């Protein structure tokens, strides 16, 4: 899938997709992703196996992640070049969102 289509389709990203890709700064198997997301969010997000594997399958189809097997024949996921470009776009969008939220934060104080 072309990067422009991927960006248009995935941005804004769901929290699930964002944290899955964030977890793939190093290659991981599915359970490793689940545990890493749980640690990153201090238990706020606990991904179910159906959610994670469904998202990973879609990301593999769209060439955002690549899949291979390790020496123990476990399925390992790794972010692709397209996935890295997608994350840079999403991080940039989130930085803008954060900056704008901070500039208006006091307007919502009682």
pLDDT of residue 71: 73
Whether 38 and 31 have beta carbons less than 8 Å apart is answered as no
- Mean predicted confidence (pLDDT) in 53-66: 95
Q: Taking the complete model, does pTM exceed 0.85, yes or no?
A: yes
- Mean predicted confidence (pLDDT) in 72-77: 88
68 forms beta bridges with 76
For the stretch 44-59, pLDDT in tens is: 999 999 999 999 999 9
* 96/39 Cα distance (integer angstroms): 25
Q: 62-97 burial, b for 16+ CB within 10 Å, e for fewer?
A: bebbbeeeeeeeeebbebbebbeebbebbeeeeeee
* 21/26 Cα distance (integer angstroms): 10
Q: What is the mean pLDDT of the chain?
A: 94
């Amino acid at each position: 899938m072309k990067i422009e289509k991927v960006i248009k389709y995935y941005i804004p990203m769901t929290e699930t997709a964002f944290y899955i890709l964030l977890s793939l700064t190093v290659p991981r198997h599915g359970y490793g992703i689940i545990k890493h997301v749980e640690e990153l969010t201090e238990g706020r997000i606990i991904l179910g196996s159906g959610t994670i594997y469904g998202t990973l399958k879609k990301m593999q189809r769209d060439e955002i992640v690549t899949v291979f097997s390790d020496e123990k024949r476990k399925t390992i996921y790794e972010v692709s070049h397209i996935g890295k470009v997608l994350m840079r776009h999403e991080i940039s969008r989130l930085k803008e969102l954060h900056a704008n939220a901070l500039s208006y934060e006091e307007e919502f104080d009682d």
